[in-house]
Structure 1
Amino acid sequence: MNIVIAPDSFKECLSAREVAANIAIGVRKVLPAATIHEIPISDGGEGVLETLLNGVGGHRLSVTVMDPLMRPITAEYGILDDNKTAVIEMAKASGLELLMEQEKNPLLSTTFGTGQLIQDALNQGCTKIIIGIGGSATNDGGAGMVRALGAKFMNDKGEEIKEGGGSLNELYRIDLTNFDKRIQNCEVIVACDVSNPLTGVHGASMVYGGQKGGSRKDLEFLDSNLAHYAKTIKSTLDIDISSIPGAGAAGGTGAGLMAFLNGELVNGIELILQTLRIEEIIKQADLVFTGEGKIDEQTLHGKTISGIASMAKKYEVPVIVVTGKIGEGIEDIYSIGVSAVYSIVNKPMELKEAIDQAPLLLQDCSKNIMLTIKCFHKA
């Protein structure tokens, strides 16, 4: 039996590689002779670095950058085997994973460190940058990132405003005199899995600001600040990024990348699947496993599972989804090519226990799935 295992990560629990490995262990307990292709996947957020380096080849570099609260940390990015394409995972420098719960504050957090990673890639001679912008702790519209590349964000007194989305209301003028001109000759591809505009009820602040530590009052203030930011960008660059789909990704970093780096926003999972040439493997498969930590109605829109299932559906390959939690609104998941959905949680348990036991739960779940399949399929 030819089996493809192509999951996303279980966030704050297991990497995509670890998820794939544990599913494979369970499968081999039932079908030790099966041909198994373990292909860890990312939809453009956390995990894009590991996914592309493992799938295409390349090397990692470590750089000292500023974290979301402007403290020095070591962050890594990758350069693919062509030595011209950098892969940057925004979360490595500007992610929620870098902050303790009490430190989360979208008024203060900045994308400055992400800009430093981009600058280092330019220093290495890269002329193409793939940047995954999921998992950010920020709501500054990418202003910190742009500042790290040489721009200045000034108030009406000619002074630079502070870092963070909470200071954008003071923005009066953007000075691009010293902005890194190498960007003009660099192709920037933005892997994005959301289509939110920059502002409004569906915008960066109102939808995602709460999980980054913002109160309701903060979110309204941040939304107003991003609207002001967009107006200032329009007056400076004659570019209106206020309502472009995806501009609100990563606290508005999508907008900053489009406006200042001429970034092209693409569907993250489609980019990954095309780059790794997974279709050629799936079309030969008898069965596909995929999954992520939680599935809900968002799973149907540009996430790993939808991308894998849609591809497998073309070749009538059954797709099994394994997940830690099944949310609401997944009724239509079967219409996109998913054959069955399984939660790995096999008894009532607290979240911490489920996280601690996740490897064994994945193994047991995939083993039981294969035992069922074996009843009807001679491997």
Structure 2
Amino acid sequence: MLGVGGSACTDGGAGMLAALGARLLADAGRPLPPGGGGLVELAEVDLSGLDPRLADADIVLASDVDNPLLGERGAAHVYGPQKGADPTQVRLLDAALRSWSGAVTRAGGREAADEPGAGAAGGVGYAALAVLGARQRPGADLVLELVGFDAALPGAGLVLTGEGSVDEQTLHGKGPAAVAARAAAAGVPAIAVAGRCSLAPERLRDAGFADVFALTDVEPDPQRCIREAADLLPQLARHIAAKWLV
């Protein structure tokens, strides 16, 4: 079971495969340095040295996002800025990932750049799907099954879920969206508690959320929300209770 989520790298899983025995070469057989930026110089991928035990391994890719590897919804554009990449670096990293996926395909890997979850963890999901033969499963659904979430829903009057920021990424495989969808299907209202929310009400309703309460509703200053979250949460709880429990 390979659980992939956030990552400080945007290398398409190249580092993972190198650690497992793959060779990444530039022109004239020069080895590439680690990291995503160097992949723009990639000339060849040699998968012949991969650990032979991988051939008999059944690998499940448990991902909390469904983004592809490339493009505007890909690893570089969506997650690169979160890790500090500026617009120029994002374009460089996306081009590097495109070069990487082409080289992997030429080396015998499966074409998986467009598959859901390929962009997870800076593209580690792509390497798992294209080279390791992994089967992708939404990580949130897997966890909800393991904890018996569906069995706990009957008789519930309200479901509370949440994360730091409820935004477009929430709707692409994150845990709160999975909780809301399952709760809505069972006829139980689901409320998200968040630091902030940037989704329009209709987007929230379509995703199954009955309501969202954010710290920024009671304190407009985001920095204070971060510093004083523990003090602000009781105020938010009173708003939830007044609207949904009284």
Give TM-score scaled by structure 1 length: 0.59
Amino acid corresponding to residue 2 of structure 2 in structure 1? I
C-alpha separation between the residues in 2 aligned to 1:361 and 1:313?
28
Residues 353, 201 of structure 1: alpha-carbon distance in 2 compared, 3 angstrom cutoff: closer
The question of whether the paired residues in 1 share the 8 Å contact of 2:219 and 2:225 is answered with: no
- The match for 2:58 is 187
Quote the sequence identity (%): 36
Q: Pick one of 134, 139, 142 that aligns with 1:271.
A: 142
Give the root-mean-square deviation of aligned CA atoms.
Answer: 2.3
Could you say which residue in structure 2 is the equivalent of 1:306?
177
Q: Deviations over 1:70-118 (max 9, x none)?
A: xxxxxxxxxxxxxxxxxxxxxxxxxxxxxxxxxxxxxxxxxxxxxxxxx
**1:151 aligned to which of 22, 29, 33:** 22
Counterpart of 2:2?
A: 130
TM-superposed CA distance for 1:142, in Å, is 0.5
The answer to whether the aligner puts 1:233 opposite 2:233 as a matched pair is no
2:129 to 252, 258, 263: 258
Structure with greater strand percent: 1
Name whichever structure is richer in helix by fraction: 2
The one-letter code of the counterpart of 1:163 is P
1:176 aligned to which of 43, 47, 56: 47
CA distance in 2, matches of 1:318, 1:222: 41
Residues 201-249 of structure 1, C-alpha deviations (whole Å, 9 max, x = no match): 3322233323323232222222222222112111111522333333222
- Equivalent residue for 1:293, pick from 164, 186, 191: 164
Q: 2:210 aligns with which of 320, 335, 339?
A: 339
In structure 1, the partner of 2:237 is 366
Q: Is the 8 A contact 2:110 2:129 kept in 1?
A: no
Aligned to 1:230, the other structure's residue is in SS state: helix
- For structure 1, which runs of at least 5 residues remain unmatched after alignment? 1-128
Change (3 A) 1:160 1:202: same
In structure 2, what residue type is equivalent to 1:157?
A
Q: Aligned equivalents of 1:155 and 1:195: distance in 2?
A: 31
Q: C-alpha distance in 1, partners of 2:220/2:2?
A: 39
Taking the TM superposition and a 5 Å limit, the aligned residue runs for 1:52-131 are 129-131=1-3
- Separation (CA, whole Å) in 1 of partners of 2:123 and 2:244: 45
Q: Distance in 1 between matches of 2:199 and 2:98?
A: 32
Kept in 2: contact 1:345–1:361 (CA 8 A):
no
Report the TM-score when normalising by structure 2.
0.88
Q: Distance in 1 between the 2:39 and 2:112 partners? A: 16
For structure 2, list consecutive stretches of 5 or more residues without a partner in the other structure: none
Paired AA for residue 62 in structure 2: A
Contact 1:283 1:312 in 2 (8 A): no
SS at match of 1:187: coil
Partner of 1:212: 83
2:152 paired residue number:
281
1:161 shift after superposition: 0.8
Structure 2 distance, partners of 1:233, 1:206, is 21
Q: 1:367: how far off?
A: 4.0
